[in-house]
Amino acid sequence: MKIAIILGTRPEIIKMSPIIRECEKQGIEYYILHTGQHYSYEMDKIFFEQLKLPQAKYNLDVGSGKHGEQTAKMLAGIEEILVKDRPDVILVQGDTNTVLAGTLAASKLQIKIGHVEAGLRSFDRTMPEETNRVIADHTSDYLFASTETSKRYLLNEGIPKEKIFVTGNTVVDAAYQNLEISKYETNILTKLSIEEKKYIVATVHRAENVDSKERLSGILNAFSHIYKEFGLPIIFPIHPRTAKMIGEFGLKFPEGTRLIKPLGYLEFLQLESSARLILTDSGGVQEESCIFRIPCVTLRDNTERPETVEVGANLVAGAGEKIIEYARKMMESDCEWENPYGKGNAAELTIQNTVTG
């Protein structure tokens, strides 16, 4: 059995890391194919270094571009590699353009496909990620769903139950494997001169938020109100896409919002797990805040992580004034919810089911 692990962005590197470790542990033949969708040091290499991952055997270096252009370059590059170094199965994770290209290439070559984090649905087709998820799920042979909710969505779309495995989410494996390490390898709180539970963490990068001046201004305006009301600094490690758009729109950062470079995973885990509140439009950050029992307000109109809302860990606020109201509510949370994303053995279950087919 030979597995090709196809990845290309920050969250894919993080969420695939437990699967890579599992392949190493079980002595399974595998290689990493990196599309190069993310390439800046702090969006890419830092995670390979911190998570001690082997280098990618192939890197397509596709870089940034319009959806069609970027996906087309990946599709051509992945196909070429899969033909010359044919695996029995490819594994992709999530809903990026890398996932779309990987599943399309493998599907046409009749190579088996395993989709990690299958069955997420926002039911919002304006999101590029929703298109990517649906296509990935419908071309996959093994669908590794994080929860029973995801499994239900897949069954409702007519995907045979034999193809679906509820494994939990590898985000839990990664968080458990690295949180302790992060505590002695780094001290980001000291570096930023902040104290436990006396700051808020924010991340924003979704196209629908950062490519719209109105939504991005609405979010920054809410940050300003939250700072004035609670007096807690908002630590904002900024995604390069957001930095670029704030520059293009000529927006100013409100008082109390501390802009910093994107952090390494170990630093970010530490920052998240000691925060008073998290404000985010990130999928992975919604999940991690739920795992660490830190209340979360989601800066979107919907979420494909409904489990976080159901357990009381998250409120979906959009990009306007509701952010302030929901921040107030979540600040009062007792944070007693259970993590719905599994026990931290998702990678083991994924590899087990990939190998046995």
Three-state secondary structure readout of 37-101 = CCCCHHHCHHHHHHCCCCCCCEECCCCCCCHHHHHHHHHHHHHHHHHHCCCCEEEEECCCHHHHH
Interface with ligand UD1, residue 72, by CB under 6 A: no
Interface with ligand UD1, residue 37, by CB under 6 A: yes
Active site includes 205?
yes
Please tell me the count of residues contacting ligand UD1 according to CB under 6 A: 19
Encoded one letter per residue, x for contact with ligand UDP by CB under 6 A and - for no contact, window 282-301 reads xxxx--x-------------
Continuous H helices in 85-168: 97-108, 128-139, 148-156
Q: Would you call 286 exposed, middle or buried from its count of C-beta atoms within 10 A (0-12, 13-18, 19+)?
A: buried
- Which of the listed partners (ligand UDP, ligand UD1, none) does 131 bind, with a CB threshold of 5 to 8 Å by partner kind? none
Judging by DSSP bridges, how do beta strands 142-145 and 164-166 pair with one another? parallel
Q: Find all residues with CB under 8 Å of 311, minimum gap 6, and list them.
A: 290, 337, 338, 339, 340
Strand order from edge to edge, sheet including 234-237: 257-260, 234-237, 200-203, 277-280, 296-298, 314-316
Nearer to ligand UD1, 70 or 354 (CB): 70
Interface with ligand UDP, residue 50, by CB under 6 A: no
Taking CB under 6 A as the binding criterion, the range among 6-14, 224-232, 248-256, 269-277 that sits at the site for ligand UD1 is 6-14
The number of beta carbons lying within 10 Å of the beta carbon of residue 281 is 24
Interface with ligand UDP, residue 203, by CB under 6 A: yes
Interface with ligand UDP, residue 133, by CB under 6 A: no
In whole angstroms, what is the distance from residue 177 CA to residue 182 CA? 10
Question: Which residue from 121, 133, 205, 215 is in contact with ligand UD1, where contact means CB under 6 A?
Answer: 205
In whole angstroms, what is the distance from residue 288 CA to residue 313 CA? 10
Taking CB under 6 A as the binding criterion, the range among 3-11, 85-93, 159-167, 228-236 that sits at the site for ligand UD1 is 3-11
| Least distance CB 261 / ligand UDP (angstroms) | 8
| Least distance CB 94 / ligand UDP (angstroms) | 6
Interface with ligand UDP, residue 344, by CB under 6 A: no
Where do we find the tokens 């991690």? 288
| Least distance CB 204 / ligand UD1 (angstroms) | 10
- Which of the listed partners (ligand UDP, ligand UD1, none) does 22 bind, with a CB threshold of 5 to 8 Å by partner kind? none
In whole angstroms, what is the distance from residue 329 CA to residue 323 CA? 10
- Which of the listed partners (ligand UDP, ligand UD1, none) does 285 bind, with a CB threshold of 5 to 8 Å by partner kind? ligand UDP
For residue 175, the one-letter residue type is A
In whole angstroms, what is the distance from residue 340 CA to residue 97 CA? 27
- Active-site position among 34, 38, 115, 205: 205
Question: Which residue from 233, 262, 318, 342 is in contact with ligand UDP, where contact means CB under 6 A?
Answer: 262
Question: Which residue from 9, 107, 280, 303 is in contact with ligand UD1, where contact means CB under 6 A?
Answer: 9
Question: Which residue from 39, 227, 265, 341 is in contact with ligand UDP, where contact means CB under 6 A?
Answer: 265
Token pair of 62 as six digits: 């596709």
Where do we find the tokens 């962005």? 9
Q: Where do contacts with ligand UD1 occur on this chain (CB under 6 A)?
A: 9-11, 37-40, 43-44, 64, 95-97, 128-129, 205, 240-241, 244
Query: Which residues are part of the catalytic machinery?
Result: 205
